[in-house]
Amino acid sequence: MKIGFIGLGIMGKPMAKNLLGAGHEIVAYDIVKECLDTVVGYGASAAESSADVASKCDVIIMMLPNSPHCKAAIMGDGGVLEGARKGTLIIDMSSIAPTASQEIALACAEKGVRMIDAPVSGGEPKAIEGTLSIMVGGEKADFDEAYDILKVMGTSVVHCGAIGAGNTTKVANQVVVALNIAAVSEAFMLASRAGVDPKTVFEAIRGGLAGSTVMESKIPMILDRNFAPGFRIDLHIKDLTNALDTAHETGSPLPLTALVLEMMQTLFHDGCGQDDHSALAKYYEKISGYKIKE
């Protein structure tokens, strides 16, 4: 199948590569030439704009940073809606505000273009492996049509409800992940300052109720002081901001999320925005003047 792919950053590049590996033809576009050149090197063909992608493909995947980027790429000058034919299916895999997904989908519907929101969880490692968790909102028929494509990139592909439900599920996911990273950072700082080897603590508690995918993934990074980004702090700030905006719209209290967001903002202003979100541990190191692991 010929598939358009717009947005070739940390996540988009390996996702497009996996689609190529599965035998799909990819027409790719990114405003950053180096990113586009990389994916062309994998075997994709290059488009000149989002509209150009849409003119050549009936299925278009988007993987962009945030709501304004998606609105511009779809609804703006040179955007998808300028080139798309009636019946085109947009699979927006960006993590954006649920209300933005609904706004974009409405604009698409006015042009006879279909859209589902399908944000992902798993970061760069699972994007490379093709084992992402994918949360989808939109019409069930459109989900069914996209399912085999999505399964190339993820092992878990779940229809969550109407348009916007995918991104609502994603912001809930990001709340759980952020609070979990903060919790393990706090706990391992406690253990370290009390004189217990954090590696020993990890081995002792990982198999019990405190164990989690977050602990398995992030504690080794913290102990190795490896903060190379699988998912950057600045992107998690964006997701938690979307979570709080959604909470304010729906009347859902998120006091712990607000606190962790402020911790991340502190790190961002300390120059750590490009670090992996496991660098939340640095916040505890900053306020305690002590490193969890030298």
Indicate which residues carry an active-site annotation: 170
Contact call for residues 164 and 119 (beta carbons, < 8 A): no
Contact call for residues 126 and 132 (beta carbons, < 8 A): yes
